[in-house]
Chains A and B, each alone.
Chain A
Amino acid sequence: MAAENWELFRFIQKSNLKTAFLSKGDAFVNILMMLINNFSFIFMWWVIFNDKGTINGWNFDDMALMFAVSGLSFALYAIFFRGVAELPQYIENGTLDSYIVSPRNLLFMASTSFSTFANWGDVITALTMYFLSGYVSAGGFILFLYLSFMAFLLTYAMRLILSTFAFYTSGTESLGNNILMTFLIFSNQPATIFTGIYKVIFLTVIPAGFVSLFPVALLKSFTWTEFAVFTLGTGGIFLLSLFFFYRGLRRYASGNRFGIR
């Protein structure tokens, strides 16, 4: 079963690449723009750290690790599973039908239905930043991949939970987008600036801390406690999002909610 799904996944991704390379010039320009985008942002933070030295204990190397993890985790989501962001639309106009009648996992089919090629630029950025940071080692690299993967699960879960609202009420798409945007803004700041009540929000409602705070701490100095908290936190929210989705699915009305066809 797993092997079959893996083969299907590879086939879909191949098709995605094919679509992106229909215009080679465009594909190239899109990646280039993404790189300009990322590195101008990183440059901006480099300037700040150059000026201030550290921010509440974080230096630019920590920022580099953060950019690496948040970049790779977002890229995994955007390149392979971005269809999850299209779910509200699928639910409202009934496109979800065609994934329901498929013999494969509904969420897998819907999530892989959309991909943004430009985010390969994020992969390049993430790897560059990891190797530029002062914390490179073989074991560290494997840990980095693991942390990025779990952070990706969290990003995916956040998006899925917000998309699930569409089963209950219409027009929540922009609210969902705004909350995800907040998640992204939070996960691209020095994690140490969130103190007091902000830290509580940062680790619960908008759990961006699992993308920035924990991975950077673990990559700098590994402790099993933090590793366990991180894994349980990200994995837990991911499972919770699946639970919410399948709960909501029972209320799916196949585009019939806004008038009977």
Chain B
Amino acid sequence: MAIKSRFRKYGAFISLAARQAITNKTVLCGGIFLLLILLLTYNQLWTVIGKDSADPSINATFLWYLLFGELIILSAPKVERILEQDIKSGTLAYYLNKPVSFFMMRFCENLSLMSINFVSLGLAGTLTAWLLTPQTPFTWLQFPLIVSLVYLSSLINLLLYTAVGFSSLWLEHTKTLAMAVQRLAFIFGGAIFPLSIYPEWFVDIARWTPFYSLYYLTIKLSYDFSAADVSRALGLNCLWLAFIIGFIIWAYRTMQKRVNVYGG
């Protein structure tokens, strides 16, 4: 009974946020536009490189790799800004006397936004990439599994930015931190160019960051699929997931305590 009503409650947040996202087409279209531009640009890059290279399939390989990486990055809503505002404006305090968990509410809303972005960007991106390079580096049988793992990465990425948002308890501007996190994802996660071309010493550092499994290990499956790598990516991602959730719970508790002390 309690669980059922809870499902209904948060389900309402999910569907409300979804409806809002679908009505607000400009944001959605903007994301798709950006993804298409990136795909076209990097298609050019890899086509040009492919011409001089011994491996003609290089374009297909790297384009699909890029698509999955960008899917994780572009799907994430600006959760850190919303949370920063909530925390700094004291909006949070208004929810303490309501029968919903503030954290769960925001999480459900953003999960919903992220999923809608993921689906629409995924459809547009897959179609474009397929038109550009019909020779996919994976079999269509592997495709659903790859997409599911990329979705899991997007989910962890969302939580990572949630953690960034909560850091505004201690930091003045989360915007710069969020930007840095994104850039680190580009290089440590190899979100644009696979880590396989980076120098050895750099990959050794990257291994210790969440971006390694979140991006590289997961999206590499698109051109180098193996059962062993699937389980490795899954395992490491779950580990990082637990770690990030742990941080969020701790930060959330701290925050509630502070709100009590200052009275919002």
Contacts and interface: CB of A to CB of B under 8 A. Distances in A.
Q: Are A and B direct contacts in the complex by CB distance below 8 Å?
A: yes
B225 interface: no
A193 B44 contact: yes
Contacts, number: 80
B37 A41 contact: no
A44 B187 contact: yes
Interface stretch (B94-102, B109-117, B171-179): B171-179
Nearest to B178: A33
Given A23-B172, A118-B176, A194-B44, A36 B183 contact: yes
B48 A37 contact: no
Given A43-B187, A47-B199, A190 B37 contact: no
B192 interface: yes
A231 interface: no
A98 interface: no
Contact of A192 (B26, B48, B198): B48
Given A33-B176, A40-B183, A193 B34 contact: no
B34 A178 contact: yes
A175 B31 CA distance: 11
B49 A52 contact: yes
A48 interface: yes
B33 interface: yes
B41 A40 contact: no
B176 A47 contact: no
B177 A55 contact: no
A175 B29 CA distance: 9
A106 interface: no
B44 A55 contact: no
Interface stretch (A7-15, A69-77, A180-188): A180-188
B179 A37 contact: yes
A29 B176 contact: yes
B38 A185 contact: yes
B6 to A, nearest CB: 36
B48 A56 contact: yes
A134 interface: no
A182 B32 CA distance: 12
Interface of A: 23, 25-26, 29-30, 33, 36-37, 40-41, 43-44, 47-48, 50-52, 55-56, 118, 171, 174-175, 177-178, 181-182, 185-186, 189-190, 192-195, 198
Interface of B: 26-27, 29-30, 33-34, 37-38, 40-41, 44-45, 48-49, 52-53, 172-173, 176-177, 179-180, 183-184, 186-187, 192-193, 197-199, 202
Given A44-B193, A51-B197, A194-B44, 10 more contacts: A36-B183, A41-B186, A43-B187, A47-B193, A47-B197, A56-B48, A174-B30, A185-B38, A193-B41, A193-B44
15 contacts: A23-B172, A26-B172, A33-B176, A33-B177, A36-B180, A44-B193, A52-B49, A55-B48, A55-B49, A56-B48, A174-B26, A182-B37, A190-B45, A193-B45, A193-B48
